[in-house]
Amino acid sequence: MNRKRPEIERRKWPRLPLAIPVFVRSREEKGKEFLEFATALNVSAGGALVAVRRLLPLAAQVLLEIPSAPVAATTALPKASRTLRARALRINHAEGYYLVAMKFSHPLVNQALPRSASRRKVDSPL
């Protein structure tokens, strides 16, 4: 009987299955810069799986830009990242698209907090 051993989970952060529109900015293999509208299919603090139409070179440096409505500078909203640097780790072809697994240059977590920090409910001014 051929039984597969369960694979050990190597991810540091859980993936969230969110479809987020993103602009992918990078360079082709010949060095020409391009900008493509794409979709992030899932996102974690460490990276994202992005569906693009253009084949990227493996290990390509990528800039992911998340489009958003302008927010007035005077609002008291927390600062959120809209531009993320990443590197293509794996590329699979899927029915007219390329699924590109990307690793962010800097994880989307607060590095100042220790891993064992307990979570508390924060009072909201609203």
* pLDDT, tens digit, 9 for 90 and up, residues 12-54: 888 999 999 999 999 887 888 999 999 999 999 999 999 999 9
Read off the tokens for 126: 């609203």
CATH number of the domain that residue 90 is part of: 2.40.10.220
**Does residue 37 sit within a domain?**
yes
Residue 1: count other Cβ atoms within 10 Å of its Cβ: 2
**Does residue 109 sit within a domain?**
no
With a CB cutoff of 8 Å and minimum separation 6, the contacts of 37 are: 21, 22, 23, 24
**Does residue 123 sit within a domain?**
no
**Does residue 52 sit within a domain?**
yes
pLDDT of residue 7: 67
pLDDT per residue over 75-120, tens digit each? 676 666 689 999 999 999 988 999 999 999 998 886 544 444 445 5
**Does residue 53 sit within a domain?**
yes
Domain that holds residue 55: 20-69+79-104
**Does residue 48 sit within a domain?**
yes
pLDDT surpassing 80 at residue 3: no
- From CA 9, how far away is CA 4, in angstroms rounded? 15
pLDDT of residue 13: 86
Number of structural domains found in the chain: 1
